[in-house]
Structure 1
Amino acid sequence: MNDIYQRLHVADEAQDNAEIIATLAAIKAGRLKNDLRLLNFYREVPVSYAAEVLTVEEHDAELLVNQIQAVVIAHEKLTVIKSSHFRRDVAATVTYVNVEKSRVVLSNLSYALVRADRRMSVRVQLGSAIDATFAAPELDEVHGRLHDMSLTGMSINVARDPHLTLTQKGELSIALPSGSITVAASLLKVFTLDSGFRLVFEIEPSRAAELSISQYIFQRQVEIIKELKDHPGVSG
C-alpha cells in the first residue's frame, strides 16, 4: 500500500500519534461529531465506508466498521482514516480484524499524504489475462500481460527488461474482451518484480478506445464489488 499513501510528520511521531488518539477519544466521547471514514483500495478500486470509535487506548483504537471494509482491511492490514477533525489524513496499521463482528484495532497512527487521491482517473486491476504489446519504430515489440488500466495510463508485466528509455513513445495494443484497441503510449516508469518487470505507460486514447476502456473499467468495478460482497465473512 506504499503506492497509496506516504506517512509524514506534522510535529513529531509521538506528538502526532497523541494528537490523533486525542481526536479519536473526543469523537468517542461525543465532544466532536463522528465523521470518520476509512479508505482502502481493493484491486485498485477505492473502498470507503463510515466507521465508529468503540474504544481508545494510549496507542491504539478499536473501530466498528462496514463488513466489506473489514474484508479489505483483513487483506491489506492497513487503512487510511479520513475526518475533518484531523490535520491530515491518517494512516494506520491494523493489528486485529474480525470480519464477522465488523471490528478492527488500529495502531501506529500517523498523518499521511494519500497519493491515490491525486489520481486523474479511476484505475482497476485486471481479472483475467489480457495480452498487451508495445510497439515503437526501430524497436522490437514488447509482449506482456496487462496489469492495470485507467483512462490515462496502463501498466503491463513482462518477463524480461526490454531496456526501453523513459519517455519512449509508441503504441500499446491490448486485447480487451470487447475487442482489441491500440492507443498512443509513453513510458513513465519501470518497476522490478519478483518475476519480471512492470512497465507503466501514460496513454492518449482515441474517443473509440476511451469508450472501450470506460466500459471495461465499469464492468471490472462491478465484478470487484460483487467479489467483496460475496466474501464468506460478509452477512447477506
Structure 2
Amino acid sequence: MEPNFYRPTVQASLEQDSAEILANFKEIIKSGSGTRVKLVNYYKGLPISYPATLVEVSGQVLELDVHPQQAVALGLSGRTCIKCGAFSHTLLADVKDADVRRMTASLHNFSYVDLMVEQRASLRLELDPPCEAEITVSGRKVAARALDVSLGGFSALTPQPTQLGKGDEVLLKVMMPNLLHNTVAPLEVPATVVDVAGCDAGELCRFSISSDSQAEGVLSRFIFQRQVDLIRELKEMSG
C-alpha cells in the first residue's frame, strides 16, 4: 500500500488508536456479529478487495481468514486497508504474516486513515517496465520514463530538472505497448502539468491529458488488457 494512497487520520494518538481498534475487533468477535470485513490492497495499481473473516485477537495481532489472491497481495504490499461498518474510518494495518496456502493473515499496528486513492476519477495502473517517454515544452524536449497511466493522465520520471510548473502545457509522447500484439507505438497527447516533485532519481511529474477518440481507444485497450494480465499474475501466485 503506497503512502500516497491514504492519509493518516489520528483520533487520539497512534498508540491509543491502535489499542482502541483492537479492543473493538475483540468485542466484535466475542459478540459473533458482523465478523466479515473487506480488505483493500493495490497490486501495481489494480484494486484487490475481497471479504475476510475475523478469527481472533491474540495479544496485539488480529487473525483473519482471507481469499488466496488477497493473501498474495498482503504479502507483496506489507500493508492493507480494512473496511468495517463498526468503524467510522477506513483502517490501515501492517501485515505480520500472510499464508496463501492456508488462506490466513495476521495484522497489527492499526490506525485510522482516509483512502485517498478512492477519490481518483479513473483507475491508475503501473507501467511495468516503465515506458520510454518525451516531454516537449516551448520547443524543448525532455527525456522521461512513464511510470503509470490512467484514462486521464500519466506520471513520468525525468533524470534531470524539467523547469516545469503546475499548469504548464506540454506535448507528451509515450511509447505505449500493445499487450496483445507485443508491439510498441508512440502515443502523443497534449498534457497539463498537475504536480512536479523532486526525488532521488530526478523529478516526478504528473500530467492530466487531453485525448481524442483515437488516443482514448489506445489507452482503454491497454488498461483493459493490463488488468487482465495483473489478475492472471495474482491467480498464478495464489496457486
Q: Using structure 2 for the length normalisation, give the TM-score.
A: 0.89
Within 5 Å, which residues of 2 pair with 1:95-110?
Answer: 95-110=96-111
Write the distance in 1 (CA, Å) between the matches of 2:146 and 2:48. 23
* Aligned CA distance change for structure 1 residues 109 and 145 (closer, same or farther; 3 Å): same
Rounded Cα–Cα distance in structure 2 between residues aligned with 1:163 and 1:11: 42
* Letter paired with 2:215: A
SS of 2:165's partner is coil
Q: CA deviation at 1:144?
A: 1.4
| 1:218 to 2:230 alignment | no
CA change 1:165–1:14 in 2 (3 A) is closer
What is the DSSP-based 3-state SS (H/G/I as helix, E as strand, rest coil) of the residue aligned with 1:28? helix
Note the residue ranges of structure 2 that are not aligned, 5 or more in a row.
179-184
Equivalent position of 1:131 in the other structure: 132
Which residue type is aligned with residue 194 of structure 2?
L
114-123 vs 177-186, which moves further: 177-186
Residue by residue over 1:14-58, the C-alpha shift from the partner in whole angstroms, topping out at 9 and shown as x without a partner, is: 443233223322332344323301001111111111111121134
Q: Deviations over 1:2-21 (max 9, x none)?
A: 11112212344344323322
Q: Tell me which protein shows more strand as a share of its residues.
A: 2
Tell me which residue corresponds to 2:201: 195
- 1:1-236 equivalences under 5 Å are 1-138=2-139, 140-178=140-178, 179-231=185-237, 234-235=238-239
Letter aligned with residue 220 of structure 1: R
d(CA) in 2 for partners of 1:82 and 1:215?
A: 31
What are the ranges of 5 or more consecutive residues in structure 1 without an aligned counterpart? Answer: none
C-alpha deviation, 1:147, in angstroms: 0.5
- 1:147 is aligned with what amino acid? L
Counterpart CA distance in 1 for 2:148 and 2:230 is 13
Q: Which runs of 4+ in 1 moved over 6 A?
A: none
Task: Quote the offset at 1:95 in angstroms.
Answer: 1.7
TM-fit CA distance, 1:60:
2.1
Counterpart amino acid of residue 180 in structure 1 = P
Give aligned-pair identity as a percent: 30
* TM-score calculated relative to the size of structure 1: 0.90
The worse-fitting range, judged by mean Cα deviation, of 154-163 and 75-84 is: 154-163
Task: Give the conservation status (yes or no) of the 8 Å contact 1:26–1:32.
Answer: no
Q: One-letter code of the match for 2:196?
A: V
